[in-house]
Chains A and B, each alone.
Chain A
Amino acid sequence: MSAVEVNNIVKSYNHKRVVDDISFSVDQGEIFGLIGPNGAGKTTTIRMMMDITKPDSGKVEIFGESLGEDTKNRIGYLPEERGLYRKMRIVESLVYLASLKGMDSQLAARRADELLARVDMLPHKGKKIEELSRGMGQIIQFLVTIIHEPKLVILDEPFAGLDPVNTELLKQMIFDLRNRGTAIILSTHRMNEVEELCDRVLMIDDGRCVLYGELAEIKSRYRNNSIFLESEGDVGEIEGVIGRRENRGYVELFLDGETSAGDVLQQLVARGIMINRFEVSTPSLNEIFLQIVGEEHE
C-alpha cells in the first residue's frame, strides 16, 4: 500500500488553475521530492494532501483512506515559513501540538524529552520559543513535526536558513525516519538537496506535472550522450565520437548515439592512454529543470 495516492487533483483560485490535474504516489520508506519554482503550486498541493484546502476535483488518499481526522494524525507537517507560539515554552509547545495529533500527553512529554536529548537541547527545554536562535527554533519545529511518530512526513523547504552543522543533523534524522519505513515528501526548489536525498521526484511548473519518476531514470533519460575525459597526452581520433569540446583540464566527447561509453573506453585502453578521469556525463537536476522550464516557456 502506498503512503500517498493523489489522482488528478485540480484547484483554482480566481479562475486561475493553481494545480492542474496532478497525479502521483509516494511509497512507504522513500524520500519523495516535490520540486518546482516558487509559485508552481507545491504548497497548494501539500495543503490538499492534509485536507487544509479541498481540491475542486480529483482525489487524495493517505494510506488507502480518504482524508479525515484520523489521516491528519498520521501526517507530520513542517510548513515553509515556520513559527510556533512565541511565548510558549519548548516542552509545552511539543506536548500541546503532539496532543492535537491525538497523542497522549504523558507519552508526548516522554517523547519530547527523548527527542530533545537527541538534538542536545534537553537543558533548554524550559526556555520560551522566542529565546531561541533561528536554527534552534527550526530544529524544534522539526521535532514538532515528528514527535507523534507520523507515518508520512511532509517537509516544506526544511533546510532554508540552517547552518551546515544543523543541516547535517537534520539530514541524519530524515534518513533515520526513512529507514524506519516513514514516507517523506520533501518540497523544495533547491535541486542539490533533492539529488542528495530523494529516490523519486515530481516536478511541477505552473500547476502542471512536467516530470515524474525515479531520479536515476530521469537523469539517464536527459543524458546528452557525452563523456568527460581527463587523460595524459592527446587521445587522437576515436570511432563513434562526433564532436569534442575542450575544457580546462578535461575534454568532453560527444558520441554518435550508437557507440556506448564502454566502446570508447575499450578504444582508449587499447591505445594505452593514461586515464585520470572517465565519466559518463549526467546533467544535474538543475540543468534538466532549466531545460524543461525553458522549453515550456518557449
Chain B
Amino acid sequence: MNKTLLIMKHEFLNMVKTKGFIILTLAFPVIALLAIGIYQIVQGASREPIEAVNIGYIDEIGEFDDFTNQPGDITFSAYGTQEEATSALLAEDINEFIIISSDYVATGRIDRYTLEKELEPAEKTQWAMKSFLLSNLLQGQTSLEIAERVKYPMWLNNIRLEKTGDIASDQGGFTAFMIPFMLSVLLLMAIFSSSGTLLQGLGEEKENRVMEILLSSISARQLLTGKVLGLGATGLVQMVIWLLSATFLLRLVSTTIGGMFSGIQVPVSMLVLGIVYFILGYLLFAVIMTAVGAVGTSARHSQQLSMLFIMPSILPFYVLFFFMRDNPDHIVSTVFTMIPITAPMTIFVRFALSEIPVWELALSITLLVIAIVGGLILAAKVFRAFVLMYGKSPGLREIVRSLRLA
C-alpha cells in the first residue's frame, strides 16, 4: 500500500477512536433529538383546555355595548361603577376588569385591575381587548369587513423570483438562514475539536520521538499529506453522520412539530456547496495545524499558536452577520470570500443573507484549493526544518529563512 495512504488510515482510525470525536459527532443528533422531545413535552403541557376568561368593564363613554364575545372564549361584562366591578372581582365572578375612561378616544388610556401578579397581560387577553375596543369604535363608521382588515392590515407572503421570472427554488428566509448557520457552527466545532486532537497527536509523536522513526521511513511531505487526508476523511465521516441524522430529524420534526419546519426544503446547490466548503475549510485548517504543530514546542504551545489562525476564520461570522446584514454584497464580503482562511465562514454567512455570483464562487474555491496544496508544500518544509528541534521554538525570521533555503 502507498505509504501516504498508510499514514492516512492510521490517522483516521486514531482520530475516530478518540472520545472527543465520538462525543462531538453524536452530540449534534442527540441534542436535536432531546430538543424535539422537550418541545413535545412542553407543548403537551401547554395544551390544557382553554379556560374561559371573563373581563369586566366600566364604560364611561357609553358606546361599548356590542362584541362582548371575543375569540378564545373571552367575554366582556359591563358594570356600572368601579365598586361593583371590584366586588365582582373579589367574588371571582370576573377575572379582571378595565375602565374605559371618558377621555379614552383622546388619550387611548385604559386602566386594568387584576388580582394576578404578572409581567404583562396574556397576549390572548390583550388581543381580545383590542378587538373589543376596535369593533365597538368602528361600529357604524365602516363595514364589518373593513373593521376586520383594520385589525389585520396584512398577511405578508414573500415570493422570490429568478432573473428568468420563474419562482425561485430557494425562497430565502428562515430555511436559507438556518442551514448555512448550522453549517458554520458545525464547521467551527469540527475544526476546534479535530485541530486539538491533531496537535495533541503531533505533540505526542514529537515528545516520544516516534517522529524520528516515521521520518526515517517516509518523507515529511508524505507524512503531512497522510495526516491531512486522514483528518479530511474524519471530517467527511462526521459530515455524513450529521447530514444523515439531520435528514432523519427534519422528517421527524415536520411530522411532529410541523409549522415552520414543514416548509424546509434544502436546495441541492446549497447542500453541495456547503459540503464542498466544509471539506475544503477542514483541509485548510488541517494543513495549518500540522505546520503549527511542527513549530510549537508542546501541545499547549501549539494550541496557543493555533488561535492566531482560528480567530481570523471566525471574523466574517461577526462582521457579516452583525454589521452587514442590510448590505451583504459589500466589497468586504467579496474580499473575505477570496481570502482562503475566511472563505468557508463567509460563504456560509452569505448563503444565509444573499446570492453569491458564480464567478466569485469559482474563484474562491480555486484559491482555497491552491492555498491547501501550497500550504501543504510550505508546511512540509517548515516541518522538515523544525520538527526535530526540541525544546526551542523558532522565531518568525527563522521560519521565513528556512522556507527560503528549503
A: which residues have CB within 8 A of B? 47, 50-53, 69, 72-73, 75, 77, 79, 81-86, 96-97, 99-102, 105, 144
Contacts and interface: CB of A to CB of B under 8 A. Distances in A.
Contacts, number: 56
B388 A47 contact: yes
Contact of B384 (A53, A72, A83, A86): A53
Most A-side CB within 10 Å, residue of B10, B212, B214 = B212
A14 B59 CA distance: 95
Given A53-B384, A53-B388, A97 B217 contact: yes
Interface string B200-221: 0000100111101111111100
Contacts of B3: 69, 100, 102
A69 B6 CA distance: 15
Given A47-B388, A52-B388, A96-B10, A84 B210 contact: yes
A52 B213 contact: no
A83 B218 contact: no
Contact of A79 (B10, B209, B218): B209
Contacts of A47: 388
- The interface residues of chain A, by DSSP majority, are classed as loop
B210 A83 contact: yes
A100 B217 contact: yes
A82 B218 CA distance: 18
B212 A77 contact: yes
Given A51-B219, A69-B218, A72-B217, A99 B209 contact: no
20 contacts: A47-B388, A52-B212, A52-B216, A53-B388, A69-B3, A72-B216, A77-B213, A77-B216, A79-B216, A81-B209, A82-B209, A83-B207, A83-B209, A85-B208, A85-B210, A86-B204, A97-B217, A100-B6, A100-B7, A105-B1
Contacts of B210: 83-85
Nearest to B385: A53
A86 B203 CA distance: 13
Contacts of A79: 209, 212-213, 216
Contacts of B213: 77, 79, 84, 97, 144
B214 A100 contact: yes
Interface string B18-52: 00000000000000000000000000000000000
A97 B6 CA distance: 10
A79 B207 CA distance: 13
B216 A84 contact: no
Nearest to B208: A83
A118 B10 CA distance: 28
Most B-side CB within 10 Å, residue of A81, A83, A101 = A83
A194 B176 CA distance: 73
B219 A69 contact: yes
Chain A to chain B: the 6 pairs with minimum beta-carbon distance, closest first:
A83-B208, A77-B216, A100-B217, A83-B209, A79-B212, A50-B216
A69 B1 CA distance: 14
Given A47-B388, A83-B208, A100 B218 contact: yes
Nearest to B17: A87
Contact of A99 (B1, B212, B388): B1
A147 to B, nearest CB: 12
